[in-house]
Amino acid sequence: MTTLSIFDQNQPETARTVTENPSEIQELLEKHGVRFEQWPTRELPAGASHEDILAAYRDEVAELKAECGFQTADVVSLNPDNPQKEAFRQKFLDEHIHREDEVRFFVRGQGLFYLHFGDQVFAILCQKNDLISVPDGTRHWFDMGPEPEFTCIRLFSNPDGWVADFTGEDIAGRLPRYEALAGAAE
């Protein structure tokens, strides 16, 4: 189940607020300019190619491109048997920003976005059916866990794809990781 936990950056050991209510999650994130929606997913075969996934969501992707000016869309998928899973996890674990909105639609599995607003950190465990759009310039990081299992459609304004500017802050290392928060949601 999708879960939002809100932490005080100065007391990161315990969340002050936790909710599983989608409309409350949407409302809390919207106050910070974050788009959160739950879309119906399509039934796809286990071995669906990235092209098949994009074709299945062609209309939704086209609508987001037209609405937000995105130029490209792709699919990222990771499974626990990927030999580079630890390197992929590490790539996204430090706080960073982008010069464009970061948009992800979870077709399968789950991942944890951390959004840093002032002295608060919002940790949203996104799951299948969740669309999240993190506004450009928002300090954030992503944790896919030690045994990643997800497939997401990503949209980009920049044709170069994922480009991050790391903040150099150590906040990501002070908050509970995926293992603690994803386990709490089950």
Residues annotated within the binding site for Ni(2+) are: 96, 98, 102, 140
Q: How far apart are CA 106 and CA 39, in angstroms?
A: 9
Are 175 and 13 in contact by the 8 Å Cβ rule? The answer is no
Tell me the three-class secondary structure of 7-59, residue by residue.
EECCECCCCCEEECCHHHHHHHHHCCCCEEEECCCCCCCCCCCHHHHHHHCHH
Longest dimension (CA), the chain: 45
- Which residues sit in the known binding site for Fe(2+)? 96, 98, 102, 140
- Which residues sit in the known binding site? 96, 98, 102, 140
CA-based Rg of the chain, rounded to a whole angstrom? Answer: 16
Six-digit token string for 67? 């609405």
Half-sphere exposure of 76 (CA within 13 A, CB side): 18
